[in-house]
Amino acid sequence: MAAFDKLPRSFFAREDVVSIARELLGMWLVTRFSGVITVGMIVETEAYAGTQDKASHAWNERRTPRTEVMYGPPGHAYVYLCYGIHHLFNVVTNAEDIPHAVLIRALQPVKGEAAMSRRTGKTVHDASITRGPGNLSRAMAIDVRFSGEDLQRNRIFIARGDQVVDETNILRSPRIGVGYAGTDALLPYRFYLRNNPYVSGKNPVGHETSR
């Protein structure tokens, strides 16, 4: 475990969830269950900006047993079941009572491909193995039982990757599947790496980040 440079809680305990979503590109998502380690580089994320964001489960102060973890301290997992089938992995950010989160939408496998293949029934040559939030959760063996998991522990965490992401290779676009969110559906809160085969969505229309 010592080989991984785990992100400290302070990384997630910041106000700008959109910046956090962008900065998570190139980081490694790591799971370690029963000694089996799987690692994927984060290549696609989306920011969800809490009570003011109509696309967020926490929109308008909405609070349910499912979403309660988003109102908790930062640096914890928020995992929920989507369409009754898919387990979607998010990281809680900001501060307690401010329910911001970043959805991890796609990974590029780094380590543990055999375990990923066993869990999904696919080979690593099929990019769909970790493309899309439902698929990556299956490959990493993440499910709703881990909602609320502290990412400072060693079962699920995020670590610095082994290379720097070139800003010119980061594209942004509106979020996927949130058409119901009115004008908030237009916000460019999705970030992804240019030309990466593991990025979800068909022919994504993206723009370079301007900074």
Partner DNA sequence: ATGCCGATGTCCT
Partner DNA sequence: GGACATCGGCATC
Under the binding rule (CB under 7 A), the answer on residue 88 touching DNA is yes
SS3 79: strand
Torsion of CA 100, 106, 110, 113, to 10 degrees: 120
Distance CA 122, CA 125 (A): 8
**Site residues for DNA, window 92-151 (CB under 7 A)?**
101, 103, 128, 131-136, 144
Backbone angles phi, psi at 135, to 5 degrees: -65, -45
* Near DNA by CB under 7 A: residue from 65, 163, 164, 168: 65
For DNA, which is the closer residue by CB, 148 or 160?
148
Q: How far is Cα 133 from Cα 48, in angstroms, rounded to an integer? A: 14
Q: Judged by CB, which is closer to DNA: 4, or 204? A: 204
In the list 85, 163, 205, 207, the residue contacting DNA (rule: CB under 7 A) is: 85
β-strands 190-193, 36-48 pairing: antiparallel
Residues in the site for DNA, rule: CB under 7 A?
Answer: 46, 48, 55-58, 62, 64-67, 78, 81-86, 88, 90, 101, 103, 128, 131-136, 144, 175-178, 180-181, 200, 202-203
